[in-house]
Structure 1
Amino acid sequence: MTPFSSEADAARHARVEATYQKVTWRLMSFIFVCWVLNYLDRVNVSFAQLHLKQDLGLSDAAYGLGVSLFFIGYITLEVPSTLLLKRIGARLTISRIMILWGAISTSMAFMTTPTQFYVARILLGAAEAGFWPGIILYLTYWYPGARRARITSRFLLAIAAAGIIGGPLSGWILHNFVDVLGFRNWQWLFFLEGLPALFMGVVAFFYLVDKPEAARWLDAEQKKIILDALAADRAGKKPAVHNRSQLLAALKDPRVYILAAGWGTVPLCGTILNYWTPTIIRQAGVSDVLHVGLLSALPYIVGALGMFVVAKSSDVTLERRWHFFASTAIGGLGGFMLPLVSNSTTAAIVCLSMISISYFAAAAIIWSIPPAYLDDNAAAAGIGAISSLGQVGAFCGPIALGWVKTVTGSLSIGLSAIAALVVLGGLAVLLGVPANSLREKAQRN
């Protein structure tokens, strides 16, 4: 039990905790649902491709290219979208993203050619650009650094939830909607899983609030608690000393590139987990698409649990670098082992679970680092730049895996290469970010 010097301190601690619980329940729960739907629509193509490739005439290499094209629009517009959120607020930004995203996702049900598949993926990336870094920036408006890894991990749990829910749901749709009303099962998959995003985009416009000052559901004391904690966080950071472009300032900071290399490990793990898990499970000997969907949820469950353990440990100790490296090392080991056990369903799921731990835990830790040393003026551009640069791996990974699969008939070489890059990204953060550059303070209530 945390010791308190007086009953007054204990009472204040209780008020602080109650305030953040209220914010998390009122605000982050809604964003959690939006992110579940958003991510579900991004990765349901991994299930659709089990039937989509034949209908559209796609090879494994062409499928990998289509997956990667998503990141052209995403990378191009991510920094502008994040800066726009800073200007117009999260309410308008999230609403715009969800409505466009849902509309494009549902329209994918009517694709008939590979070209339409490629165009749809590019448009999806453009629509979604800025959602993830925008939310990371949004969290800095509400939570001090000492709480951020834990709250980020809760937000990342939405990705795990998308995998846990999406796998069985996608498998069920593919199993039960074969040629219903003359449409293919993969068409129903895109249509049914895209509609909720449209609805939540409309709701977001009326439900969200941009900053604590504007939250009518917080009383004056609760607002003061949040604003005082944020002010204490900012007090330890170096102020901006010039008025140059925020983006140019961020791009001149070498730590942005180091953290981009670290963040790049996350989408690399995601390439395996989000876009090839159904294929890997099927190749391990599971033929029924419903069973593939159910089994695909297991790595996400393990990854979510691992993320909570790592994020809590990182926040309690205020140590980021070693926690991040440990996370990438687990994922790298899983990637190296996966080709060796590809014929065993159980062993393959264990390796996928290790990759999942890396995917979620590394993401929760890496995004607690930029706000610890970037001043307020540079935060939006810096976070956007790190996210965009790190997505290079997300663009190249699916293309490389698809090409390797087409040429060799196996994912082995590609999986081993990704595993090596993941470990190198972890080392980049461990060795390239000095511990004394992270200005985080333990929270005192």
Structure 2
Amino acid sequence: MKVETKNAVKTGSFSLDSETEKDRIYSKIAWRVMPILLISYIVGYLDRVGISFAKFQMMPDLLGGNIAMAESVYGLGAGVFFIGYIIAGVPSNILLSRYGARRIIAFLMVVWGTISMLTMFITTPLQFYIARFLLGIAEAGFYPGVILYLTYWFPSSRRAKMTALFVCGIPVSNIIGGPLCGWIIENFDGLFNLSGWKWLFFVSGPRAVIVALIIFLFLDNTYSKAKWLSPREKSLIDDDMQKAKVSSDNQKAPVKEWTTQEMLKSWNFSKMCLICFCTVMGQGGLAFWVPTIIKDTGVNSVFEIGVMTMFPYMLAVVAMLWAARSSDKHRERRWHMIVPFLIAAVALVCIGLFHENKLVVMITLSIAVAASLVPSPLFWSLPNAIFTGGCAAAGIALINSFANIGGFISPYIIGYFKEITGTNLAAMSVLAVMMICGAILTYSVSPKLVNK
């Protein structure tokens, strides 16, 4: 009898060990959901930034050997992606919230894999711009959709770590994709009379379709629909979700339910857009130019450049996960973003000042990449903490769409200034200023609103 009573205490409804049990449940969810999302993001990001390696062969082919305008043509093409991304962001996210993540994300992956594969047939800069624009439209709903999707599975107190794990797809895709892209371009070049960069885009289609099938078969829309969670596990998650809807100041006072109109008029919403814009300016500018920055130090082998791109992103994975874990543990968001913003600003300037010194460039590039990526997953805990209610899906998509104007501007800025000055200093300085602005704007957000 004593043994039975003891077991009953341990397994009874909402026992004293419920927090430990919740840790186990969220770990179970993470192991089920996050690998699928992470692999999806890695595949999508490889399709997006593959041109940073294809550039070395593709630009001479598209420009007929006249590469005088190569840097600005490439920069504009890299940026045009975000125009399509901005246009389709809100509609895609609304569709995802209405029809569920499984169908929409799987469909988007099939579309963007097809577009990326067809890029192998482009022959002019105009076709390059069109392909990038269409790819932006296809990928627009994925990132903000997943940010929204995570709110259906994890309460705000646990979400920063999960978001960081998802956004780790950016550095992980570069860790994997750098050497892979370099190897494909060098070793497949000339096979069946096709350039290496064409093969790079060809393999992207089947890869995306396979992952889309995995999503459709194994990704549930919400925890309430997951057959692999027990009724008790779902009730514990329900309990956490209800607690997350209560204000930290008065547990009996519900958090304000925002309408879309109220949200758009809010100064805090404008701040969120601007902070995210600064974040995207830094990480977007670097994402498409890391291989070129390394090549400018004297490295000529595309495969060697790919291997060297691993190091900045390996540091980024460690930094992102550490910062997210620390942010969740201390329930502090602002300073975990402000400090990386400022570190990135200093490192970016150093890249420009010492652009020919391979050792200094690799050290400062690694720091800049890691520091510029850290604020990205932490940022989404800010608007998710402030804005609740029916406006959440549209709000996330609107913020993401506005911010990605920076994704259009930053690659073009780097290409333009590099073409007219011959160095990266001016462009890196512009990005550094944006990082400082991001730090100032983040500091201006009230900690009472976001440190939950």
Partner of 1:41: 47
Mapping of residues 7-406 of structure 1, within 5 Å: 11-57=17-63, 59-236=70-247, 238-240=255-257, 246=260, 248-406=261-419
3-state DSSP of counterpart to 1:36: helix
* Normalised TM-score (structure 1): 0.93
1:250–1:381 CA contact under 8 A, matched in 2: no
Q: What is the Cα deviation at residue 116 of structure 1?
A: 0.9
- Aligned partners of 1:435, 1:16: CA distance in 2, in Å? 27
SS at match of 2:191: coil
Shift of residue 193, structure 1, vs aligned partner: 3.1
- Tell me: CA distance 1:383–1:30, structure 2 relative to 1, closer, same or farther (3 Å): same
Give 1:103 deviation, angstroms.
0.4
Residues 265 and 328 in structure 1, CA contact (< 8 A), matched pair in contact too = no
In structure 2, the partner of 1:434 is 446
Q: Greater shift after overlay, 197-206 or 68-77? A: 197-206
Mark the CA change 1:343 to 1:439 in structure 2 (over 3 Å): closer, same or farther: closer
8 Å contact from structure 1 (residues 36, 162) kept in 2: yes
Q: SS where residue 376 of structure 1 aligns?
A: coil
Letter in 1 for 2:34: M
CA contact (8 A) 1:328 1:426 kept: yes
Q: Give the CA deviation at 1:315.
A: 0.9
Separation in 2, partners of 1:419, 1:407: 19
Letter in 2 for 1:252: K
Q: Summarize deviations over 1:65-95 as a string: whole Å, max 9, x none.
A: 1111101110111112112211111111211
Contact 1:71 1:122 in 2 (8 A): yes
Cα distance in 2 for partners of 1:52, 1:249 equals 47
Moved more, 104-113 or 230-239: 230-239
* SS of residue paired to 2:245: helix
The residue type paired with residue 373 of structure 2 is F
Whole-angstrom distance in 2 between the partners of 1:226 and 1:37:
30
SS at match of 2:43: helix
* Displacement of 1:30: 0.7
Q: How many Å separate the matches in 2 of 1:176 and 1:20?
A: 43
Identity of aligned residues (%): 35
Give the equivalent residue in structure 1 for 2:3. Answer: none
- Which string of whole-angstrom CA distances, capped at 9 and with x for unpartnered residues, describes residues 123-159 of structure 1? 0000011211111111111101110111111111111
Deviations 1:5-24 (A, max 9, x none): x9786632332112111111
Letter in 1 for 2:43: L
Query: After the TM superposition, which parts of structure 1 deviate over 6 Å for at least 4 consecutive aligned residues?
Result: none
Distance in 2 (alpha carbons) for counterparts of 1:339 and 1:64: 17
For 1:283, the aligned partner's letter is D
| Residue type at the aligned position of 1:389 | F
Distance 2:374 2:116 in 1: 28
C-alpha contact 1:36 1:161 (8 A) present in aligned 2: yes
Secondary structure class of the residue paired with 1:372: helix
Partner of 2:190: helix, strand, or coil?
coil
- Paired with 2:362 and 2:236, the residues of 1 have a C-alpha distance of 44
Cα distance in 1 for residues equivalent to 2:344 and 2:198: 33
The Cα of 1:263 is off from its aligned counterpart by 1.2
Q: 1:7 to 1:212 in 2, by over 3 A?
A: closer
Paired residue type of 1:195: P
SS in 1 for 2:38: helix
Q: Is the contact made by 1:104 and 1:123 (CA closer than 8 Å) also made in structure 2? A: yes
Shift of 1:227: 1.6
Confirm or deny: 8 A CA contact 1:101 1:198 kept in the other structure: no
| Letter of the structure 1 residue corresponding to residue 170 of structure 2 | I
Q: Is the 8 A contact 1:268 1:394 kept in 2?
A: yes
Q: Tell me how many residue pairs correspond in the alignment.
A: 430
Q: Distance in 2 between matches of 1:271 and 1:50?
A: 19
For residues 144 and 266 of structure 2, what CA distance do their matches in structure 1 show? 18
Deviation at 1:278, TM superposition (A): 0.8
Q: Determine the C-alpha separation between the residues in 2 that align with 1:85 and 1:105.
A: 22
AA at the equivalent of 1:138: Y
C-alpha distance in 1 between matches for 2:49 and 2:198: 15
Give the RMSD, CA atoms, in angstroms. Answer: 1.6
The secondary structure found in structure 2 opposite 1:286 is coil
| Distance (Å, rounded) in 2 between the aligned partners of 1:177 and 1:254 | 52
Shift of 1:230: 0.9
Distance 1:18 1:434 in 2: 33
Equivalent of 1:419, from 432, 435, 440? 432
Q: Aligned partners of 1:323 and 1:97: how far apart in 2?
A: 33
Whether the 8 Å CA contact 1:372–1:438 is kept in 2: the answer is yes
One-letter amino acid matched to 2:405: V
| Partners of 1:344 and 1:336 in 2: CA distance | 14
Task: Please give the secondary structure, in 2, of the residue aligned with 1:332.
Answer: helix
Cα 1:38–1:137 change in 2 (3 A) is same
